[in-house]
Structure 1
């Protein structure tokens, strides 16, 4: 079996040398699931690994749009439908200049295994465009979304592929996308997209879900160690939906987030992001489109560290919430040196491979990967689909109770898989193995 894994790895390195995000994601996954491959030779006989690391299809298209001055622009759009073994494709759309085939495929791959852990019948996908919503008017964003959906609508639907939001795609963008989908198809198909507004089929706590889910997962890790969130200090990156949710739920459970970050640097707030005023200001910063965190320091009189990352601050828990590869080996060394006890990933693949291995192998740091801890957003997206099919809206409390239970189930599955394969408390390998087992069994059952 080791020869088979080596051959798949070599083929991936050769084929995707120019797609670093995607290559990093799949090679790390292969390393994590290797202990589970000894169960049977069926994986090699059916060449299952190759089928699992390659998407079912990759769509690319141009997205022309007109700005408010009447000038035309052309962006590039993508949708990768990665795996539908356990349900229709599902995953976010990202509008950001960094979007390219490598980023989209990495996101789709990660999403496939996140979704499998939820226990809900959904496959994995991702998409987006190299369009930057920052600095654009509402009308420009609307025109772009309408053009994007004109290219995408043929390939999505409630039983086919269900997009959701990601970086640069919030409730506003989902609204414009959904409106155009209805016009093009003539169907008010509520479950064709998730992340919708509450007035037309959206779910309560959708914006908070990713951060809330990450904190619920972290709380289970603490519980395993006989601890609680009470009194814990957290270092968090970003100031978007994920960070906002982490701040709010941590404060509710007695902890406090003391850092936020942006492309310009990070802020250190020793009193913690714990008040409604601070939560509301995070929303204002995001809505401004400036993408700078220094405004928080100006507003609340705290320190701002230009061009630096928050991982130098001594805390109990580190939760990266911004973007991929935001944490490198130097950051990981600093985290270990600061005696950080818990490293929990909120965003997709926030650490480089070397940084992640350093943290995983440190006896001081307990780690959890985003395929498990960062699944809160997709959980509530899937619950939104359930509510749409029922033509019924659950209360905020009902949605949050379901989210909390599913995050607990994900923790249990990750811990059990790690223990089953003699990996101790390696939750990152555990969540990869648990998801792999579920998807591979479904693929085997469905034949070639």
Structure 2
């Protein structure tokens, strides 16, 4: 009797731990069926595969198969769910009849692959401990670096396709061909050059002397590429690459952003420097242009790691900086914290307190409007455009991409003007609130971003809002669009969605947010594009006011600075429209603003370069 009971108990235990093997490409995933397994029982119990007795009748077998299918649908990944989200590299396979956990990264990229680093012995806590130990091992991190290097090579091959625009002038075509021969793989820089030359065709055709000046302008005055070694909190050494491209100092000392992002490369540094050169030339303040940064990713790094990286970055770059030479500003991945660390190391190395880097809102900074200036300036610029059409922002639906400094300040200022901003986005998707954001909802959005949570959290408080994963906001019905995330965020399909959604005006908050194909779609649909070189002048204006001694002594109020910011945006808009009409573009043309901004900036630079000779 006892033997029979033991056999029944053994069969029930096997059924509770019935294993289903599911082959997905190269990985074998073990899923545990529903049962009463606890932390210890799974680790200490043996794995048994129980076959159905052969003496069952056909009806019983069919009934058993049906029950097995139903059971398979209800399978719960109790074991794997505990580590699958955290350790995405781990997978389960059978070796010598025993289930083992393996690392797919070490298996493919590791020089030494530990065959069975851990298996199914011990409790789940022991398994989690073993997984954490492998995740922090030097062998695993070496394999991760090899994987990242391999992925970067793949991206370089796939993503660096260059769209060559059709130009009407043979001279313009020859300039583009020269850039393509010299820098064939710098897609971002080449697109920026193409857009500018397309706007300058009428200028070049009227005066051939400008061709030689343009050829000189397209080659940076100084390109600095350097190594940035730093040590993390665990004592391990890392190496990143730093860039600074001082494009032109014809109008004055360079001002330009620093960007910390894994995608950063020389092409992006040159594109940022070139765009900043035109932007500064168009602004009321005559400044040179520069751009740079590093492929360092500040996300997931501790305060001390970021500080050590910034200090190492400045150890090389400080030689080329100074109030009369070049001062950096904020961009993606570089905020007040990073600028503070950079300036502190610069002051230490330079041995004096000359100037300040534009950006930080801390005690050694000048004005308090710097971080808001770019976002506010975009809204002021949109207001100027609408005023020419006898319209106003009040009541207009606006879609915004991004949720960083610029995007949030655009949202705030749109609310101040009575507009209806309905979207913001992050790396995972976008959030839409059809009722529109308001001043009561903005603090919640800021809290979510400050805690680095997903924007989906907003929907828990406001149930009518929706969060769409892996999507962009350009299909939402709108009157104005403010792309404030990154370059190339609007592709051809996104441009088609924007046109279909009723968008009439696009204000570029980020540098070059549209691909060439997207620009073609928008222009054919008569969507007015306000280029970032004109609409983004607000950051330049506030940065220069920050460095102005009179401003620092007077400590102007935010209201006074907003007035000066509005004046700067108005001057920029008027300069761009005047240049467009002088070269035959009608004010009503959607291309007038983009062409006029490039023409005005280039003519200012060309005059200075011509006066200074061939240098």
TM-score with structure 1 setting the length:
0.95
Q: 2:563 corresponds to which residue?
A: 401
Kindly tell me: are residues 247 and 75 of structure 1, through their superposed partners in 2, closer, same or farther at Cα, counting changes over 3 Å? same
For 1:17 and 1:37, locate their aligned partners in 2 and report how far apart those are by CA, in whole Å.
Answer: 24
Q: What is the CA–CA distance in structure 2 between the aligned matches of 1:379 and 1:304, rounded to whole Å?
A: 36
Deviations 1:318-361 (A, max 9, x none): 11011000001111111112221211111100001121122123
Larger Rg computed on CA atoms: 2
Please report how far the alpha carbon of residue 389 of structure 1 lies from its aligned counterpart in structure 2 after TM superposition: 7.7
Q: Spell out the pairing of 1:324-343 with structure 2 (5 A cutoff).
A: 324-343=487-506
2:333 corresponding residue in structure 1: 168
Q: Deviations over 1:418-443 (max 9, x none)?
A: 21212223211111111111111111
Q: 1:439 corresponds to which residue?
A: 605
SS at match of 1:207: helix
Change (3 A) 1:287 1:75: farther
Find the counterpart in structure 1 of residue 308 from structure 2: 143
The question of 1:33 aligning with 2:33 is answered no
Deviations, residues 185-214 of structure 1 (Å, cap 9, x unaligned): 1111133x1112241123212111111000
Is the CA contact (8 Å cut-off) linking 1:134 and 1:289 kept in structure 2?
A: no
Residues 251 and 288, structure 2, Cα contact 8 Å, conserved in 1: yes
Q: Quote the offset at 1:390 in angstroms.
A: 5.4
- The Cα of 1:366 is off from its aligned counterpart by 2.2
238, 251, 264: which one aligns with 2:428: 264
Q: Which residue of 1 aligns with 2:43?
A: none
Rounded to whole Å, the distance in 2 between the matches of 1:196 and 1:391 is 18
CA contact (8 A) 2:372 2:405 kept: yes
Find the aligned partners of 2:297 and 2:610 in 1 and give their Cα distance: 41
- TM alignment of 1:43-58, pairs within 5 A: 43-44=210-211, 47-58=212-223
Q: Could you say what the CA RMSD is over the residues aligned between the two structures, in angstroms?
A: 1.6
Which string of whole-angstrom CA distances, capped at 9 and with x for unpartnered residues, describes residues 356-391 of structure 1?
Answer: 12212323x222111111221122111111147854
Distance 1:125 1:444 in 2: 20
Which of 344, 360, 363 is the matching residue for 1:196?
Answer: 360
Unmatched 5+ stretches in structure 1: none
Separation of aligned partners in 1, 2:215 and 2:320? 24
Alignment CA distance shift 1:136-1:228 (3 Å): same
Pairwise CA distance, 1:54: 1.4
2:412 is aligned to 248
Q: 1:12 aligns with which of 153, 172, 179?
A: 179
Q: Are positions 1:100 and 2:265 aligned together?
A: yes
Which position in structure 2 is the counterpart of 1:133? Answer: 298
Contact 1:236 1:258 in 2 (8 A): yes
Specify which of 594, 597, 603 is matched with residue 428 of structure 1. 594
SS of equivalent to 1:315: coil
Moved more, 230-239 or 296-305: 296-305
Distance in 1 between residues matched to 2:181 and 2:533, nearest whole Å = 26
Pair 297,113 (structure 1): closer, same or farther in 2 beyond 3 Å: farther
Partner of 1:347: 510
| 1:214 and 2:381 aligned | no
- Partners of 1:406 and 1:215 in 2: how far apart? 13
Instruction: Tell me how far apart the structure 2 counterparts of residues 172 and 282 of structure 1 sit (CA, whole Å).
Output: 21
Matches within 5 A, 1:267-346: 267-275=431-439, 277-289=440-452, 292-301=454-463, 302-346=465-509
Q: Residue 88 of structure 1: which of 232, 249, 253 is its match?
A: 253
Distance 1:123 1:281, change over 3 A: farther
Partner of 2:148: none
Residues 546 and 552 in structure 2, CA contact (< 8 A), matched pair in contact too: no
Residues 190, 299 of structure 1: CA spacing in aligned structure 2 closer, same or farther, 3 A cutoff?
farther
Q: Structure 2 CA distance, aligned partners of 1:387 and 1:271? A: 45
Q: Is residue 366 of structure 1 aligned with residue 528 of structure 2?
A: yes
CA distance in 2, matches of 1:85, 1:337: 43
Q: Distance in 1 between matches of 2:324 and 2:444?
A: 38
Match of 2:91 in 1: none
- Asked if 2 retains the 8 angstrom alpha-carbon contact of 1:387 and 1:394, the reply is no
1:417: Cα distance to partner?
Answer: 1.5
Query: Relative to 1, partners in 2 of residues 1:17 and 1:227: Cα closer, same or farther, differing over 3 Å?
Result: same
The DSSP-based 3-state class of the residue aligned with 2:363 is helix
- Structure 1 residues 157, 389: CA separation in 2 closer, same or farther (over 3 Å shift)? farther
User: Which residue of the partner structure matches residue 142 of structure 2?
Assistant: none
SS of match in other structure, 1:200: coil
| Rounded Cα–Cα distance in structure 1 between residues aligned with 2:276 and 2:179 | 19
1:261-309 deviations in whole A, cap 9, x for unaligned? 112111111122221x43333433443345x433333443310111110
Contact 1:60 1:77 in 2 (8 A): yes
* Greater RCO, CA 8 A, separation 6+: 1
- Consecutive unaligned residues in structure 2, runs of 5 or more: 1-167
| CA distance in 2: counterparts of 1:127 and 1:388, whole angstroms | 29
Which piece of structure 1 moves more, 302-311 or 31-40? 31-40
